[in-house]
Amino acid sequence: MTMLNKPYVAAPDGFRRSEYEISGVRTVVYESGGSAVREGGQEGAQGGRPLVFLHGAGTFTGFDFLAGLAAERRVIVPYHPGFGESGDDPDIDDINDYVLHYLELFDTMGLADIDLVGFSFGGWIAAELGVSRPSLFSRVVLVAPSGLPVDEPPAADVMTIPATDLPGYLAHDTSIFENKLPKAHDVDFLTLGYRERVAAARVVWDRPMGNRKLGRRLGRLSQPVLLVWGKEDRIRPVEHGDAWLDRLSDARLEVVPNAGHLVLDEAPGAIRSIAAFLR
């Protein structure tokens, strides 16, 4: 299913599209131009470590915020199986299935010494990747990640939030959706949303708060970690950042004011902070 003409799934300008077959699953990857990756046969200032961004449990807002990072780095954005333009795999019903999928994808692409950025559901995948293969990653950024159960205050169970209320949970300033949502009934948009909710539900339906075992494994992430959180996050309250800090050996938390769960869409300063951290 290709929907590049829809603004809610378009990649930023200058990204090119590739397809990989990973254990029988068509996996679509967008990658920034990288014209400055090599300069005279040497690594250029805009090259160096690849930067992989793992998206959350919905892709309709697109990835325009990555344009700032792509100006400096080779940015790689894969669609998870069951999301966006990638194929479906109904056998993926555990977070470790995504971990193994991405380890195979990174091997196929020849990636090493990766800077890894994960948002929300993608942050959970990023954390599990980090504890599974810490030597593969140089620096890790977790943006309002799910995956670590925190009892108080509880996270919102996205699967139970009515669709009409969801924008107010996702963003502090819902005007960011003005150009991200269709103006009229749109079958493609509804199909995309349903398909991605089903893919996420296979993993989170019986464990909506995350992986109870993850907390005791986070010590394996010995590399520098940046946590980024919107202060007004109603999906994963900002207090959850402290729970992550308590379990990570080298981490700091940046709280972004006047931003909700979609902090990267709402606050351009968050991307600038990530870029500075990854330098």
Whether the pLDDT of residue 126 is over 80: the answer is yes
Give 37's pLDDT tier (boundaries 50, 70, 90).
Answer: very low
Mean pLDDT of 65-83: 94
Whether the pLDDT of residue 183 is over 60: the answer is yes
Q: Can you tell me the distance from the alpha carbon of 67 to that of 32, in angstroms, rounded to the nearest whole number?
A: 9
Which residues have a Cβ under 8 Å from the Cβ of 30 and sit 6 or more positions away? 11, 15, 16, 17, 18, 63, 76, 77, 78
> For 24, left (φ over 0), alpha (ψ -120 to 50), or beta?
left
Give 34's pLDDT tier (boundaries 50, 70, 90).
Answer: low
- Return the sign of the alpha-carbon dihedral for residues 90, 136, 271, 71: negative
Pairing of strands 137-143, 225-230: parallel
Predicted local distance difference test score (pLDDT) of residue 179? 79
Give 72's pLDDT tier (boundaries 50, 70, 90).
Answer: confident
Q: What is the pLDDT of residues 148-157, one digit of tens each?
A: 999 999 999 8
Give 134's pLDDT tier (boundaries 50, 70, 90).
Answer: very high
Any bridge partners for residue 141, and if so which? 117, 226
Predicted local distance difference test score (pLDDT) of residue 7? 39
Cβ distance 251 to 226 under 8 Å? yes
Predicted local distance difference test score (pLDDT) of residue 278? 95
Mean pLDDT of 204-228: 91
Q: Can you tell me the distance from the alpha carbon of 25 to that of 3, in angstroms, rounded to the nearest whole number?
A: 18
Whether the pLDDT of residue 234 is over 90: the answer is yes
23: exposed, middle or buried (C-beta count within 10 Å: 0-12, 13-18, 19+)?
A: middle
Mean pLDDT of 155-167: 89
Pairing of strands 15-22, 25-32: antiparallel
Whether the pLDDT of residue 167 is over 70: the answer is yes
Q: Can you tell me the distance from the alpha carbon of 107 to that of 11, in angstroms, rounded to the nearest whole number?
A: 23
> How many Å from the N-terminal Cα to the C-terminal Cα in the chain?
36
Cβ distance 261 to 234 under 8 Å? yes
Report which residue type is found at 53: F
Cβ distance 214 to 241 under 8 Å? no
- 55-69, 116-130, 230-244: which has the minimum mean pLDDT? 55-69
Residue 114 host element (H or E): strand 114-119
Predicted local distance difference test score (pLDDT) of residue 43? 41
pTM for the model stands at 0.91
Q: What is the pLDDT of residues 88-121, one digit of tens each?
A: 999 999 999 999 999 999 999 999 999 999 999 9
Starting at the earlier edge strand, list the strands of the sheet with 251-256. Answer: 15-22, 25-32, 75-78, 51-54, 114-119, 137-143, 225-230, 251-256
Give 41's pLDDT tier (boundaries 50, 70, 90).
Answer: very low
